[in-house]
Amino acid sequence: MNLLIKNVTLLPMDGKNEIIDNTNIYIKGDKIAHIGEIKEDVKADRVIDGNKKLAMPGLINAHTHIGMSLFRNYADDLPLHDWLSKKIWPQEAKLRAEDVYWGSLLSMVEMIQSGTTTFLDMYFFMEEVGKGLLESGMRGVLSRGVIEEEGKEKEKIEDTRSLYREWNGQGEGRIRVAVAPHAPYTCSPDYLKELLDLAVELNAPIHIHLSETKKEVEDSYKLYGKSPIKHVYDLGLFKQPTIAAHCVHVDDEDIRILKDNNVSPVNNPSSNLKLASGFAPVDRMLKAGVNVALGTDGSASNNNLNMFEEIHLASILNKGVNLDAISVKAIDALKMATINGAKALQWDDEIGSIQVNKKADIILIDLDKPHLYPLHNLISLLAYSAQGSDVDTVIIDGNIVMENREIKTLDVEKIIYNAEKLSKDLINR
């Protein structure tokens, strides 16, 4: 299908940090074919009126656990390690494939409705998430969270190998697979090395939690005499492209290691604040040249998957903490949610910005809302005023997935019904 978005305001996120007024975007198949004036002989199957709308790249949620939507509002007001050990892990032990399937679809509905087009997921029953990706039309990276368990080490490695072989490249290339050791406190050094070997074998990126809490860092110094980041670096983990979720408690040496090894930390401000984990020094990392991406974490610890909320927090939190009003500017936070996320996922050659020959992953923001007027600085508007509910249209891989806030690919009522039913059943199992 060929699409034409006419007379739209455009934020391409192409490095120029400029808004283009009253332009046109021509989409041919799954790619952006032309931006600008359109010749009369250009043929489009659908024309979308871009009047009073802003086009920008689809948002990239670079760290989440979407099956955890079934635990939303179940366990709150707890620090991370108590939250995991006393509430979440006991319930996750009872999870079934159908739980993750419907929980993931519920999350996909939420993400589409708030402008996310791509996500990096770490959880269990990842085949079910893959099925959801095929149905929803979203783009995603699947990673089976690996926690070392005596007697099951080889089985879990083989599970990831099988996931890669079955799913990498599926959905006409919309689905990729990463290797995901959960964290250095749940995987021994030898096991981390085995998972590194697997990532090298598959030529897959690594997705891991690092330095999320003060306790994690203190325990790492007690065990290994070094920070979690230095620990996994010394094990050779960063030989592979690595996405490091959180990186909240980091020192200058940690930041240097991240920069020198092209590791992409993922800031998850809502989750880190809610779990009292702290706040990542995003400003210091960005100034050091680190590629910082943005994520929501799971909706059980956030408790939503609204990337516009994360953009807002990523900017204002750093300003407040640093007592510096120009710390993490609006455009910096928007980059974290778009092109930086694409770089973290090794996908920036195709997504993360609106440019000719890139994939047509585009969202349209309805600017005709009281809370957005007057329309002065549109970059500031997106970071400080816009809400997820302002997303009117979502295009992924050249396909209209949502239009006029109606999702075209999923049965939303059926998904909500099944997710609610299974959530209550799961808690009482």
Q: 191-242 pLDDT, tens per residue? A: 999 999 999 999 999 999 999 999 999 999 999 999 999 999 999 999 999 9
Q: Which residue has the tokens 């599970």?
A: 159
Phi, psi of 205 (to 5 degrees): -70, 165
pLDDT of 40 reads 81
- Sign of the torsion formed by the C-alpha atoms of 23, 29, 30 and 33: negative
CATH class of 2-57+357-405: mainly beta
Domain boundaries, the chain: 2-57+357-405, 59-344
Element (H, E) at 283: helix 282-287
Give 21-39 pLDDT, tens digit per residue: 999 999 999 999 999 999 8
Angle at 397 between CA 354 and CA 4, to 5 degrees: 65
Give 267-310 pLDDT, tens digit per residue: 999 999 999 999 999 999 999 999 999 999 999 999 999 999 99
Give 103-117 pLDDT, tens digit per residue: 999 999 999 999 999
What is the 8-class DSSP label of residue 383? I
What is the 8-class DSSP label of residue 391? E
Cα 84 from Cα 289, distance rounded (Å): 33
325, 338 contact by CB (below 8 A): no
CATH number for the region 59-344 comes to: 3.20.20.140
pTM: 0.98
pLDDT of 42 reads 87
Element (H, E) at 415: helix 412-427
What is the 8-class DSSP label of residue 239? G
What is the 8-class DSSP label of residue 374? S
Q: What's the mean pLDDT in 55-69?
A: 98
